[in-house]
Amino acid sequence: MVASDHGSGVLTPLAWPTLAGGVLLILLSLVDLVANIWPLQFGQLEWRYGAWGLLSAYLLTPLLGTILLAAAAALLGHNRALSVLSWLNLTAAGLLVVGSVLFVLDVVQLRGAVPLGDQSRFDTGAAKALIKYFAVGGVLAWLGFACRSAARQATASRARRGDSGVLVG
């Protein structure tokens, strides 16, 4: 653990299981998603629509895992982990925006093949998926900037105390 006052107190014993739980929430969600969209068929329009639609149903669990990772890193005073989480969250938010644009293009292409009676349901499903993408992307971006800020504040606090951030047992 990094020598710091961030990890002191009654919350320290909770930080490591929180970290493990966050990792599990992310990894197991991704395993479930891949299992449901396998085999990968990026060249097929219907598959892309279905996969991106299904991804929208899985977004909240990895988001919760990411929040737990950030909380655990902050509790443990792990500036590098916060910096890495900042970069990963901002990258994921950007990927969700790009993926959403591509999803809209697929929706526009696929909509013509949807029977008239099902177009309303199709449009509603696409709109719900997009709302989820932008909401989760916004929280990921916010969390990314918050992780960056927390890492900078912890570094400045260490510098003021003269703490070198040396690892201690």
What pLDDT does 10 receive?
A: 74
What pLDDT does 161 receive?
A: 75
Domain contains 3: no
Domain contains 102: yes
- When pLDDT is cut at 50, 70 and 90, the band that residue 154 belongs to is confident
- When pLDDT is cut at 50, 70 and 90, the band that residue 17 belongs to is very high
Domain contains 2: no
Domain contains 6: no
| The model's pTM | 0.84
Q: Which domain holds residue 112?
A: 12-161
Domain contains 105: yes
Per-residue pLDDT tens over the stretch 24-72: 999 999 999 999 999 999 999 999 999 999 999 999 999 999 999 999 9
Domain contains 73: yes
What pLDDT does 8 receive?
A: 57
Domain contains 169: no
Domain contains 75: yes
- What's the CA dihedral at 107, 109, 110, 114 to 10 degrees? 110
Question: Is the confidence at residue 166, as pLDDT, over 80?
Answer: no
Number of structural domains found in the chain? 1
